[in-house]
Amino acid sequence: MDKPKEALLIEKWEEAKRNLDEVEAELRACILESKKSWTVGGVRVVYNKGRKTYNYKEVGSDAPEPMVEKYTSIRTSVDWRKLVLEGMCMEQDMVPFTRSAPSVTLKIDNE
């Protein structure tokens, strides 16, 4: 029995994806080593040196309590789901909703 067209395409995609993943890993390693961005044809590969994150809490945790209180703010948030379902006693099917467009995900499971 012949395989369905979908099965043949899935196998073809899997082989191409595995080959592409190998090339991509090699390219990433090369770019990380050179620390330079490249544009070739319509392809742009960008080197990013990484995002700098400051740890203010580590430094500021030794500040005196009155200073900490001065720069402390309290935020409130509304749990709209609970408000509607519990507070307003509405049923889920009475709540308006939107639906995203259908999509397809392609993935190769790790071996």
Domain count, the chain: 1
Residue 84: HSE in the Cβ half-sphere, 13 Å Cα cutoff? 9
Helix (H) or strand (E) holding 60: helix 56-60
**Domain assignment of residue 34, given as a range:** 5-94
- Note the pLDDT tens digit of each residue in 61-78: 899 999 999 999 998 999
Q: How far apart are CA 33 and CA 47, in angstroms?
A: 10
Q: What is the pLDDT of residue 43?
A: 87
Q: What is the pLDDT of residue 103?
A: 82
Q: How far apart are CA 9 and CA 13, in angstroms?
A: 6
Whole-prediction pTM: 0.59
Average pLDDT, consecutive stretches of 10 residues, N- to C-terminus, the chain (111 residues)? 93 95 93 92 89 89 92 91 93 92 75 50
Look at residue 110 and tell me if it is in a domain.
no
Q: What is the pLDDT of residue 110?
A: 65
Look at residue 103 and tell me if it is in a domain.
no
Q: How far apart are CA 69 and CA 29, in angstroms?
A: 47
